[in-house]
Amino acid sequence: MRQFIDSITTQIIAGVPVQEADARVLADASGNDLFTLFTAASRIKSHFLGSAVHLCSIINAKSGRCPENCAFCAQSAHHATDAPVYPLVDEEKIVANAREAEKNGSHCYGIITSGTSISKGEELERICRAVRRIRQETKIAPSCSLGIIDFPTATALREAGVETYHHNLETARSFFPSICTTHDYEEDMETVRVARRAGLKVCCGGIFGLGESAAQRIEMALTLRELDVDSVPLNFLNPIEGTRLAAADNLTPLECLKTIALYRFILPSKRISVCGGRERNLRDLQSWMFFAGADGTMIGNYLTTIGRPAEQDWQMLNDLGLTVEGCCG
Q: Is the pLDDT of residue 272 over 60?
A: yes
In 3D space, the residue among 247, 97, 116 whose CA is nearest the CA of residue 180 turns out to be 116
By percentage, how much of the chain surpasses pLDDT 70?
Answer: 99
**Does residue 168 fall inside a structural domain?**
yes
Range of the domain at 64: 52-320
Mean pLDDT, residues 55-62 taken together: 96
Q: Is the pLDDT of residue 328 over 50?
A: no
- Is 128 annotated among the ligand-binding residues? no
- Is 108 annotated among the ligand-binding residues? no
**Does residue 82 fall inside a structural domain?**
yes
pLDDT in tens, 252-264: 999 999 999 999 9
> In whole numbers, what is the pLDDT of the chain averaged over residues?
95
* Residues in contact with 31: Cβ distance below 8 Å, sequence separation at least 6, in sequence order: none
- Is 203 annotated among the ligand-binding residues? yes
**Does residue 4 fall inside a structural domain?**
no
DSSP string, 42-64: HHHHHHHH-S-BEEEEEEEEEBS
Between strands 141-145 and 164-166, the pairing is parallel
User: What per-residue confidence (pLDDT) applies to 326?
Assistant: 53
**Does residue 270 fall inside a structural domain?**
yes
- Is 143 annotated among the ligand-binding residues? yes
pLDDT band at 281 (very low <50, low <70, confident <90, very high): very high
User: What per-residue confidence (pLDDT) applies to 329?
Assistant: 39
Find the CATH number of the domain harbouring 314. Answer: 3.20.20.70
SS3 321: coil
Number of domains in the chain: 1
User: What per-residue confidence (pLDDT) applies to 314?
Assistant: 94
- Is 73 annotated among the ligand-binding residues? yes
Q: Is the pLDDT of residue 292 over 60?
A: yes
Mean pLDDT, residues 164-180 taken together: 98
SS3 258: helix
Least confident stretch, 240-249, 289-298, 306-315: 306-315
**Does residue 16 fall inside a structural domain?**
no
* Residues in contact with 80: Cβ distance below 8 Å, sequence separation at least 6, in sequence order: 242
**Does residue 85 fall inside a structural domain?**
yes
User: What per-residue confidence (pLDDT) applies to 307?
Assistant: 83
Q: Is the pLDDT of residue 114 over 50?
A: yes
Dist. CA 300–CA 304, nearest whole Å: 12
Say which DSSP state 66 is in.
B
**Does residue 6 fall inside a structural domain?**
no
Q: List alpha helices for 89-229, DSSP H.
A: 91-103, 122-137, 151-160, 185-197, 214-227
Q: Is the pLDDT of residue 33 over 60?
A: yes
pLDDT in tens, 120-163: 999 999 999 999 999 999 999 999 999 999 999 999 999 999 99
**Does residue 68 fall inside a structural domain?**
yes
Positive or negative: CA dihedral 186, 202, 239, 42: positive
